Structure 1
Amino acid sequence: MSRIGKKAVTVPKGVTAEIDGKTVSVKGPKGQLSFVLNDLVLASKDEDGSIKIDPVDDSKPARSAWGMSRTMVSNLVQGVTNGFEKKLEISGVGYRAAVQGKNLQLALGYSHDVLYPIPSDVQIACPKPTEITVTGIDAQRVGQVAAQIREYRPPEPYKGKGVKYAGEQIVRKEGKKK
């Protein structure tokens, strides 16, 4: 049995959750999100207001979708209450970032600055020139935007220069020997 799937998703005060067939909609102080469940799982509300996810049968595909569906519903609730955040760090001489209007301007060692248009459902801030903070209510969108920014200059293994996630360990290689 799925250890994650067995747990019910608690809905905190100030958040309303509705189940309409296969669609779970959650509305909270930060916004509204919805998720369409797989055909292999069923959603129901308990008497205390929490959401319970159950597989339709005991088949392997249904049990595989069970835990993932519960996590997706949990992410909806967490997103509309607290939101999600990813931090990126920039290391390298002259590498920096700045928010200018609706664009993120990145100086990453190219002959030109990279302009990344900020999506409307995500907020990007630069508390320092070498830090980027991506926040939003949708976990998938926050992760996707952070990955797209990191893709402009991934960290290289010799000096560690580039854009990396905060706390990411870069496996370093030894340089040439004489």
Structure 2
Amino acid sequence: MASHIGKLPVAIPAGVDVAIDEGTFSAKGPKGTDSYVLPEGITGKIEDGHIILTPVDDLRPTRARHGLSRSIIASMVQGVHEGFSKHLMIVGTGYRVVAKGKGLEFFLGYSHTITVNPPEGISFELPNANEVIVRGTDKQAVGQVAANIRKLRAPEPYKGKGIKYADERIVRKAGKAGK
């Protein structure tokens, strides 16, 4: 019995070239290139514009890696075709961000500024001084960089000051007076 997720084929969009060579999957698209080594016990083939992964045996660890591999490959194909992004908002009086070379310099109410440089394959966009958009082709890397930026000054529950995701809702607490 194979993984339910792993059995689903991954559609290859127009403009994306994929190849499976000796257990290594690679994808090249308009946003960049990426590769992934298929785990032992998983084979793949390209058929009718779709990527199909199949487990060699029916052991439980192989089934688990089967679904995981399919999800990673689907994210890679989407990443090289469209890319991924995370939108962060900076809330608070005097809190802001400015571009400094390829990196960012944050003013977050500390006695010093904090500089964040992008890792390989990640870029930053600043629509204004209170917004940051993290972009890249690797879903995991984009999410991790956004989480690291958010961690610099996580939103606090009383006034909502800090760095938050654009779609995040901060649950507010009543102050000392209990209003």
TM-score, normalised to structure 1's length? 0.92
Question: For 1:15-30, what aligned pairs fall within 5 Å after superposition?
Answer: 15-30=16-31
**Partners of 2:103 and 2:124 within 8 A in 1:** no
- The superposition leaves residues 8-60 of structure 1 with CA deviations (integer Å, 9 ceiling, x where unpaired) of 111122211111122100111221100112213221221x1311112222222
User: Are 2:12 and 1:11 aligned?
Assistant: yes
Q: Provide the C-alpha distance between the structure 2 equivalents of 1:155 and 1:38, rounded to a whole number of angstroms.
A: 39
> Counterpart amino acid of 1:156?
E
Match of 1:66 in 2: 66
Q: Provide the C-alpha distance between the structure 1 equivalents of 2:120 and 2:42, rounded to a whole number of angstroms.
A: 32
Match of 2:106 in 1: 106
TM-score, normalised to structure 2's length? 0.91
> Counterpart amino acid of 2:75?
N
How many residue pairs are counted as aligned between the two chains? 177
**Partners of 1:40 and 1:61 within 8 A in 2:** no
- The superposition leaves residues 71-110 of structure 1 with CA deviations (integer Å, 9 ceiling, x where unpaired) of 1101111111111111011111111112121220111110
RMSD (Å), alpha carbons: 1.6
**Residue ranges of structure 1 left out of the alignment (5+ in a row):** none
Q: Provide the C-alpha distance between the structure 1 equivalents of 2:172 and 2:54, rounded to a whole number of angstroms.
A: 45
Q: Provide the C-alpha distance between the structure 1 equivalents of 2:40 and 2:152, rounded to a whole number of angstroms.
A: 38
Identity between Structure 1 and Structure 2 (%): 49
Q: Provide the C-alpha distance between the structure 1 equivalents of 2:59 and 2:120, rounded to a whole number of angstroms.
A: 40
Give the superposition deviation at 1:143. 1.2
